[in-house]
Amino acid sequence: MVSLTTMASVAPIDSLAAVKFYNIPSASGPAISIASHPDGSIWFSEINNNSISSYDPETEKFSRFDIPTSRSFPTDLNVDLHGDIWFVEYDANQIGRYDIRKKVFEEYEIPTLKSQPSRLVVDDKGNVWFTQFAGNKVAVFNKKQKRFKEYPIPTPMSQPAGIAIDKNGTVWFIEVQGNKLGKLSPEDGVIKEYDLPEPFSAPSEIVVDGKGQVWLGARTKRKLLRFTPETEGFDGFDLPGKGVPEGLAIDSAGNLWYCDKFKNKIGRYSPKENTFVEIDVPEAEGKPLDIVATKADKVWFTVLGTNNIGFIDASDTLSDKVSDLSVNINKKGKELLKQLSHQ
């Protein structure tokens, strides 16, 4: 079941005032995935440099840490409850951990050969869950036992990508080629799949909000999808700029943020207000790719086209504009606009 809703964008805000960039010292970049640390620092992976790096907003200092395995291609990273950094090595077929206190790396070989680990998330027990894009599995690494367990996905060649965990410990993941949303129960290992409402949606990223609703970006359909577990139904929200949603994040106010690499924008959808805002990235070749929220209306993002990471603080700007300028368009209004556009 799917209910599609068309939304209108809030008027553009002053991008130059809202967006700041910080140049990464290593010249060959770029930054790919990004995560926030409890100490306030921002961590990101550098594929070309085979490293993970951090930026401290307080000291304005960058630090870089080279991964022991060469050409590992770190595509994603995350932070566990102890503040250690976990990352996947797409080409090296490993997951890795950087102990920030001891300043040492540990790497673990994945049982399935050439599995192409893609994205990962850490649960509240310290276990690391990740998707195997070529292995067609969801896997977990038990930190205490230092042991892997793999769960084959029922759909062949589904190409699992984004992964998230809800507050009950349920694991949710995206099937790019399978065009499905997957749910894995850690208690029994059972996987349930849900067909997306439209074919060839090419989803990639996924997040779970505070209400347990699952959000994903349907890239080819240029919209956000929301899945409600209680009803097992989808709702769709068309992006106002008709861009392509990439990285996703939920801020502390429940707003959904996304990167639009092709339109060079950062977007924000407010479920509470039922409104969109899209912010132009003031760099011609910016191409924002991944995003993380630190507070309400405060986000950091990676910039694929330039050697920067970006920061947006729109807490004051958006609170004013959303209340005054947001507009919802229902079906009748949409038809009216279509008629006017042909006059």
pLDDT, position 276: 92
Sites in the chain below the pLDDT cut of 70: 1-17, 317-343
Question: How do residues 4-22 score in pLDDT, each as one tens digit?
Answer: 444 444 445 555 567 899 9
| Percentages (nearest 5) of helix, strand, coil residues in the chain | 10, 50, 45
Distance (Å, whole) CA 91 – CA 72 = 5
Question: How do residues 252-284 score in pLDDT, each as one tens digit?
Answer: 999 999 999 889 999 999 999 889 999 988 877
pLDDT, position 153: 98
Best CA proximity match to 316, nearest among 95, 60, 17: 17
Joined together, the tokens standing for residue 183 give 């749910």
Long-range contacts at 322-326 (CB < 8 A, ≥ 24 apart): 322/10, 322/270, 322/273, 322/275, 322/277, 323/273, 325/10, 325/11, 326/8, 326/10, 326/273, 326/274, 326/275
pLDDT, position 15: 59
Distance (Å, whole) CA 177 – CA 333 = 35
Best CA proximity match to 202, nearest among 183, 184, 225: 225
Joined together, the tokens standing for residue 94 give 């490993």
Best CA proximity match to 241, nearest among 4, 5, 21, 11: 11
Question: How do residues 183-230 score in pLDDT, each as one tens digit?
Answer: 999 999 999 999 999 999 998 899 999 999 999 999 889 899 999 999
Distance (Å, whole) CA 146 – CA 52 = 22
pLDDT, position 319: 54
Which helix (H) or strand (E) segment is 334 a member of? helix 331-341
Q: Write the CATH number of the domain with boundaries 2-341.
A: 2.130.10.10
CA distances from 90 to 36, 70, 71, 97, 110 (A): 21, 12, 9, 14, 11
How many beta carbons lie within 10 A of that of residue 313, not counting itself? 16
Place of tokens 């439209």: 198
Backbone angles phi, psi at 167, to 5 degrees: -65, -15
Joined together, the tokens standing for residue 74 give 């770190």
Joined together, the tokens standing for residue 288 give 């924002």
How many beta carbons lie within 10 A of that of residue 262, not counting itself? 15
> Which amino acid is it at 97?
R
Q: What angle do CA 159, 161, 162 make, to 5 degrees?
A: 155
How many beta carbons lie within 10 A of that of residue 25, not counting itself? 12
Peptide bond into 30 cis (omega under 30): yes
- Model-level pTM? 0.88
**289 in helix, strand or coil?**
strand
Listed in sequence order, the residues at least 6 apart from 255 whose beta carbon sits closer than 8 Å to its beta carbon are 268, 269, 270, 271, 272, 293, 296, 297
